[in-house]
Structure formats: structure tokens, C-alpha cells
Chains A and B, each alone.
Chain A
Amino acid sequence: MAIDIGQFVQTFFEESLEGLDIMEAGLLALPPGAADLEQINTIFRAAHSIKGGSGTFGFKEVTDFTHVMETLLDKMREGQLAVTGEAVNSLLESVDCLREMLMAVRQNTDIDNARVGDLQGRLTQLLERKGAASGTADATGHRGPVASQPLPPAGGWLIGFRPHLDLMHRGNDPVRIFRELAALGDLTVRPDFSRLPRLAEMQPEDCYLAWELELRGDAGHEAVTEVFAWVEDDCDLSIEALVETIVPPATGKTAAEEPGQGELLLERRGGDRRKSDRRGSGAAADGGSIRVGIDKVDAVINLVGELVTTQSMLSALGVDFDMDRIDKLHEALDQLDRNTRDLQEHVMRIRMLPVSSVFSRFPRMVHDISEKLGKRVELQISGEQTEIDKTVIEKIGDPLIHLVRNSLDHGIEPPGERGTKPQTGIITLNAYHKSGSIFIEVGDDGRGLDRDALRRKGLDSGLLRPGEEYSDEQIHELIFHPGLSTAKQISDVSGRGVGMDVVRRNIQDVGGNIQIASQPGRGSMITICLPLTLAILDGQLVSVGQDCYIIPLLSIVESVQIRAEAINRMAGKCEVLRFRGQHLPILRLYELFGAEDAVTDLEKGLLVVVEADGRQVGLFVDDLQGQQQVSIKSLEKNFRRVSGVAGATILGDGRVGLILDISGLIRVNNAAM
């Protein structure tokens, strides 16, 4: 039965991280004071599966830590522990801590034991305080007629003692422990036989039993732990204050047993494989995987089926083809065309993830930061089911965090300064599809951009000229310039003036753009427009000499024929075209790329007007060819980055075509001027 569970480790991590997200979301949605059973149950289930999984793979620290969280959640579920803000915050911190632990285990680095210990201690404290809380509840409520003893441990301890198989190899004797415990108070011992294997498989020196011990009396927590000091490392130990005696037996049972069974299960599988598993998980580097809905896969399979049909149709046609059947051939080719396009679309869809994977981190962030800043903020999220390419999702996470932080720090006013607006500020996150692109909006109803301050800054830094009038857009545009911050105070949240330019660069790197709209006193709205996917773009083929280049269709403004009298030379070298009231620099592509046999007479070729970073230039080409969707291939993989070239693609005739990087070309041109 040698199943290598190492191969599932990766899945465990993914699922656990998902579980943590669920827990976090659940905790944030938990209204303080009222125990929303459904919500707590969700959180509890997530914690429980992490515990079970970590046990299976032998990540003991994780198991132990989750166990404490789980116990706490269980008490909440039972209504024995109030859902206080403090408890929720501790649990949130625990979620963070657990995430770090998982990461540490995954990367085979050390776990921050001090932090784990500290949090575990706080959780246990909460648990212990519950003893008193439930005591008062009992006095007033229906649970028990008699208030329990007023002693701190509320009458005693419930000890879950599950030795590891090899406990007895180290010379430890459970009976000795029981004897010592019996000296501390009134002891009841209940053995748990569930781990017992069949007689034939039993190793005489192994310890298969587990025990549940009930110790009544006034012994302190420390005294009890002390008894187990020698076996701490060889068993799974839980010491809880004894409250089960005063709750109805049915619920008491679930509390004690549910975690217990999880433990048993994993103990049997874990064992001595523990070490090798952990090494295995380290070696299995993060290859990057996506979970794909089965419907998406089915759709692809269906399309492949259709493609196969078309293929057989075509090959049947090819066997004895004559011109009479040319119509049939065209029909089949059309069908092939349709199939390929559909297939392409559906395969791309596999790479798409809902944007909620990015949005989901914001409730927590807003919760934490608004608390820190002393502001009251509500986050409204919509459109989180909008799907975006995985690569794009990975790249927009940081820019979005930055934008939301900005809104929190600069946008939303502190309470009392909000005038007639509701005291609770609103930050909105919205995502939607529109005309082949994805739009993400980050908005707030705060104070908006300070136009005058921006203008002053712009004048100071020489970006604006004094005496000239600028539109709101031009002024707002300034926040994307490096080193420009209007925040009066630099906080650790934001305000250093590095950021918005980086945000814009990041967005542009994935082929998107960013715009800002703002009204003083009413708030601002930042809109990010992103391409659906990075792997495919709509391109315009242009010919330059014998070469063929692809210009991304999105950046093309128009194509024009030039008349010589409209051309001016600046500084003798650089050519500009007077065009629709502005001066358009001309880039001769054949010069830039050293193409041979190209058209050099400006009147005989075409000028493709392109735009990037808010600037326009005219690219001089021989002629326009067709438009087509091209899949972007990397030049860097086997070669290196080439300035002015975004990538390459395979053209219809099997040759390689280079895709132009418009903003790169404009940059190169500016540097040359």
C-alpha cells in the first residue's frame, strides 16, 4: 500500500490557501455580537479541513495551531463564547499566521514559533475566559440549574491524550501519567480503541490507545501540563477547561470527538513518512496551476470533437478531388475556420479566472487600514465574477492595492470632516466587460483630488507652464508623474509620491491603460482598462520592404497618405507632419529597423498614426496588409528583448512576424530627439 501522498501536497496547499481565504471572508462578514451560525459553520469547516489535511501530511505545527482555532470556533458555534471584536481580530491574525506557516512549510523554511506561540496563547486565553463567561450565562440561562464552581478552570480539565505509536519506545508509560494525574484530583479515564488494528497487524511495542481524561478538582493548568512534560513531543495533547459537564451531553460529545477523529485518521497515515513528505513538497516547486471548471474542459472537448469531424470531412474530400467539389471544399474550410476560432476562444477561457481572486483580499485590507487610520469605511464590491486572464490577474494585484490604499488614506475623510455626506465613507470596486476589454473601477466618495495643490506641484516641478490654462484631465494626469504627492503627511500607508507612476507602468506592461476622474468634495474614480488576454491580440499587418510587421490594432488611430508640402523638418533632421492642427513626428520604420528595398518617398507610402502614453506619432510604412488575430510568442525565450518590439508571432505563411511595441518606439524616438 505504498501510495505516495507527496503528490497531493501541492493540492493540499492550494486548498488550504483557499480555505484560509474562506475563513478570512467569513470572519470579516461576521457581525460582532450576533453569532451567525451559518457563517461560523463555514469558517469552522474550512479550519477543520486544513487541520485534517495538515495532519495527513504531517505538518504538526499547523495541525496543532488549527486545532486551537477550531476549538475556539466550535465554542462560538455552540454559543458558549461570544463573538467579540477581539475574538474576531485574534482569529484574523491567526489566519494570517496560518498562511505564513503554510508558506514556511511549503518553502521548507522555519516557522516563526514565537508568533505562533503568542497567538496560540491568546486564543487559549480567550478559550479560558469563556469558562467564566459561560458560567454567568448558566446562572441566568437555561443550560444548567447550578452555577459551576467559581474556580478558574471551572471545575477541572478535560484532557485529550493521544500518544503517538512510538510513545512506549521511549520508556514512557501512560499508566504512570494517569497515576500522577489521579494524585491531583478526581480522575476518570475513558480509553479510545478506534486506532486498534487487527490482531495480526498489531505491533506489541506500539501504543494504539488514546484516552480522554476528566480531571475534577482545583489543580492548575500548569500542574496538569507538568505531568505530560515528558511525553509532550510524543503525543497529541489537548487540555481544556471542563465545561462539557454542564452542557447537554449531545453537544459536549461533538465538541470532543469531531476533532479527535480527524486526528486519528491522520495519525495512522502520517507516521514515519512525515520527513520525506516535507522534502517532497519543497522540491515540487510552485509550477503555477489553475483550477478549471469541468464545464470549460467539456466545452473544449466538444470543440475538439467537431474539429475531428471537419478534419475527416476534409481528408475525404482530398482523396479524389475534382473541381466539381470546390464548393464542398470551401464549406469545409469555413467550418474549419469556425472550429479553430471557437477552440481558440475556449482554450483561452481556461486561463481565465474570476477577478474575485484579487478582490477578495480587499475587505480585509480595508478593515485593517481603516481601523488604523480611525476612519469609517465601507467597501462595496461588484462584478467579482468577471473573468480575466491569469497573467493579467497576477499583475494587477499590486496596482489595485495601491489604488485602494490611496482612496483610504487620501480620499476618504476622517469622521467629522465629511460634512453632509454620511459619516461612513464608501469605497467601490467594480469589474465589467466592455467591447473586448475588461474595466476595473476603484472609486471613493471622499474629498477628491486637490486640483489647486496638484497645479501648484505641477508648476513647482516645471511640468506645467505658468499662465496657461489646463483642463481637469491634464491636471489629474499629473498624479501619474513620479515624485509628485499632494499628501501633506507621509504615512506608512501611502503618500511618498512613488506609486501612481509605478501603478501606471504596471498597468501598461499588461497592455492596459488607466484614467482618473475626480470631483472636489464628491470623490474620485479610477478606471483601469485591460485587454482580455495577453496571449492574443488583434493586429494590423504592415509591410516595410520585404518585411512584415504587426501593429496592435488598439494603438492605431488612423492611416493617412501624406502630401510633401505638409511636412516640416525640425532641426534639420526630425520630420513632422502638420496634421489636424498638431505636429506629428514621423518615424520611418525602415530606417529604425534597417529594412531593405523599402519605399523611401513619403508620398508613395502610408503613415499609420499610432498612440501610446497619450502621445501620437506617425509610423511610415510601405503599405497596409490584412488585419488578423495573432498569438504573441516570446522573443526572449531563445533570444533577448529587442527594443521597439513587443514580441513575435507566426504568420499565415509560416514565417515569423514581429509585433511592434508602440510605447517603446515612442520612447526610443524621444530619446533620439
Chain B
Amino acid sequence: MATKTTELATVGTHLKREATTAEGLQYLTFTLAGESYGIDILQVQEIRGWVPVTKVPNAPSFVRGVMNLRGAIVPVIDLRLRFGLESVEYTKTTVVIVVTVRSEQGGRIVGMVVDGVSDVLNINNAADIKDPPDFGTAVNTEFISGLVTIEAEMVMLLDVDRLLSIEEMFAMESIRGVDAARATA
């Protein structure tokens, strides 16, 4: 397991290096319940395989717990649950994308559990990014900073800073807590 993590981590840094040299914008894309999402590659710290985490009491259901990232205590968020999607069993290919969330109080490190990492998306022309329409996905459109269409496939670009901000996470919980309770019942 350790070797796998290191390999993945190397991929992460490699990607980062490419991002800084390439022109235009780069996004790391991943899949979640059959849909493609992208996040700004400069916010990606590393990609790790899933390892069991320590549960945190009284936390929103989508907070799986906290993990040890080289001595730092990092919360791990299940993005499916965060978006109110059905949760799935974690498998060997389940990965955690470790991202830096920027806020006024400084950067926080958060892990996101996703179904799988796909690719790095180069966007050379900023005009390719379309504003998100008000469509009825499970995702609240305020967390989507834009849409890109690649070969008939649509990629939703996520605003991680908003999605994983403490305020948002706990504001959501108060509303969603009711739904979650109903779902488990």
C-alpha cells in the first residue's frame, strides 16, 4: 500500500509541474456517479489510495473522518455524500484527492473521496469554459465555476474553496441532516 501511495503522490507532483509550465489552465478530472468533474490542478496536493480513517463524532455524515497525512490531521470528505448521492462500497480503486482549500483564515488541507481519477484536462482558451446553466443535477450549481465540453462529454469544474469551506459544510449539514436521517431510516 505504501508504494502505491508514493507512486500516486509522484504522479501528483508531476502533474503539478506540468501545470506550471503549460500555457492556459489545467484541471484534474475525476468521476463521481458516472459524471465528470474537474478541479484546478494547482489546488491538488496529492492523490492517495483509500485507507480506513478515524471517525469523528458529531460531524456531518459526509465527513468520513480524519486521516494522518504525514503528521497532520486531515478531514476526509466523501464527495458522493456531500452531493447527496448514493454512497458506494470503497474498493481498491477508490482514491482520495488531497486538496488545499483556500480561505480567509489561510489554507486548509482536505481529502476528498471520489470514484476514480481520470485525466488532466488542458484548457488553452478560457472561452471554452461556459457558465453553468441552472440545471437540475444533484449538485448545487453555486459550487460549479464552469462547464467544459470535451468530445461530447461534459466536465463540471468545481469551486473547491466554496464546496469544502467550513461554513458551507456545516450549513449544508443542518439542512441535509433531516434528509440523511430519513434516508437511513
Contacts of A655 in B (CB 8 A): 52, 54, 68
Whether B72 pairs with A593 at a CB distance below 8 angstroms is no
Whether A592 pairs with B57 at a CB distance below 8 angstroms is yes
B33 within 8 A of A: no
Whether A640 pairs with B166 at a CB distance below 8 angstroms is yes
Whether B66 pairs with A635 at a CB distance below 8 angstroms is yes
A594 within 8 A of B: yes
Complex CA–CA separation, A210 to B55 (angstroms): 74
Interchain nearest-CB distance for A463 vs B (Å)? 31
B109 within 8 A of A: yes
Report A600-634 CB contacts with B as 1/0, cut-off 8 Å: 00000000000000000000000000000000011
Complex CA–CA separation, A547 to B64 (angstroms): 13
Closest B residue to A545 by CB, please name it: B55
Complex CA–CA separation, A592 to B55 (angstroms): 12
Closest 10 CB pairs of A and B: A593-B57, A656-B54, A639-B75, A648-B73, A638-B108, A656-B66, A638-B109, A633-B73, A650-B68, A656-B68
- Given contacts A655-B68, A656-B66, A656-B67, is CB(A638)–CB(B75) below 8 Å? yes
- Given contacts A638-B110, A650-B71, A656-B73, is CB(A593)–CB(B66) below 8 Å? no
- Given contacts A638-B110, A650-B68, A655-B68, is CB(A643)–CB(B58) below 8 Å? yes
Q: Which of A310-362 contact B (CB under 8 A)?
A: none
Whether A634 pairs with B73 at a CB distance below 8 angstroms is yes
Report B54-79 CB contacts with A as 1/0, cut-off 8 Å: 11111100010111100111110000
Whether B58 pairs with A642 at a CB distance below 8 angstroms is yes
Contacts of B68 in A (CB 8 A): 650, 654-656
Interchain nearest-CB distance for A632 vs B (Å)? 10
A637 within 8 A of B: yes
Task: Name 16 interchain pairs, CB-CB below 8 A, sorted by A.
Answer: A593-B58, A633-B71, A637-B73, A637-B108, A639-B66, A639-B74, A640-B166, A642-B56, A642-B57, A642-B58, A644-B57, A650-B71, A656-B67, A656-B68, A658-B56, A658-B57
Interchain nearest-CB distance for A625 vs B (Å)? 14
Chain A interface, DSSP helix/strand/loop, else mixed: loop
Whether A639 pairs with B73 at a CB distance below 8 angstroms is yes
Contacts of A654 in B (CB 8 A): 68
Report A641-663 CB contacts with B as 1/0, cut-off 8 Å: 01111001010001111100000
Complex CA–CA separation, A642 to B58 (angstroms): 7
Chain B interface, DSSP helix/strand/loop, else mixed: strand
Complex CA–CA separation, A593 to B58 (angstroms): 7
Interchain nearest-CB distance for A540 vs B (Å)? 17
Residue with the highest number of chain A CB atoms closer than 10 Å, among B52, B66, B67: B66
B53 within 8 A of A: yes
Q: Which of B25-62 contact A (CB under 8 A)?
A: 52-59
B residues near A (Cβ < 8 Å) are 52-59, 63, 65-68, 71-75, 108-110, 166, 170
Complex CA–CA separation, A132 to B58 (angstroms): 77
Contacts of A642 in B (CB 8 A): 56-59
Contacts of A650 in B (CB 8 A): 68, 71
A595 within 8 A of B: yes
Contacts of A633 in B (CB 8 A): 71-73
Complex CA–CA separation, A633 to B59 (angstroms): 18
Contacts of A658 in B (CB 8 A): 54, 56-57
Extra inter-chain contacts (6) besides given A638-B109, A643-B58, A655-B54, CB under 8 Å: A594-B57, A637-B73, A638-B73, A642-B59, A650-B68, A658-B54
Closest A residue to B169 by CB, please name it: A640
Complex CA–CA separation, A633 to B166 (angstroms): 19
Whether B56 pairs with A639 at a CB distance below 8 angstroms is yes
Interchain nearest-CB distance for B93 vs A (Å)? 22
Complex CA–CA separation, A594 to B61 (angstroms): 11
Complex CA–CA separation, A593 to B65 (angstroms): 12
Residue with the highest number of chain B CB atoms closer than 10 Å, among A592, A634, A658: A658
Complex CA–CA separation, A635 to B166 (angstroms): 13
Contacts of A592 in B (CB 8 A): 57
Contacts of B53 in A (CB 8 A): 656
Interchain nearest-CB distance for B65 vs A (Å)? 8
Complex CA–CA separation, A411 to B55 (angstroms): 50
Interchain nearest-CB distance for A245 vs B (Å)? 64
Closest B residue to A596 by CB, please name it: B55
Contacts of B108 in A (CB 8 A): 637-639
Interchain nearest-CB distance for A353 vs B (Å)? 25
Contacts of A638 in B (CB 8 A): 72-75, 108-110
Contacts of B56 in A (CB 8 A): 635, 639, 642, 645, 658
Closest A residue to B57 by CB, please name it: A593
Interchain nearest-CB distance for B122 vs A (Å)? 30
Interchain nearest-CB distance for A621 vs B (Å)? 14
Interchain nearest-CB distance for B55 vs A (Å)? 6
Whether A645 pairs with B73 at a CB distance below 8 angstroms is no
Contacts of A643 in B (CB 8 A): 58
Contacts of A648 in B (CB 8 A): 54, 66, 73
Complex CA–CA separation, A633 to B57 (angstroms): 17
Whether A547 pairs with B73 at a CB distance below 8 angstroms is no
Contacts of A634 in B (CB 8 A): 73
Whether B58 pairs with A644 at a CB distance below 8 angstroms is yes
Q: Which of A567-615 contact B (CB under 8 A)?
A: 592-595
Closest B residue to A640 by CB, please name it: B166
Whether A593 pairs with B73 at a CB distance below 8 angstroms is no
Closest B residue to A595 by CB, please name it: B55
Interchain nearest-CB distance for A643 vs B (Å)? 6
Residue with the highest number of chain A CB atoms closer than 10 Å, among B53, B55, B57, B109: B57
Interchain nearest-CB distance for A108 vs B (Å)? 22
Interchain nearest-CB distance for A559 vs B (Å)? 21
Contacts of A644 in B (CB 8 A): 57-58
Interchain nearest-CB distance for A254 vs B (Å)? 53
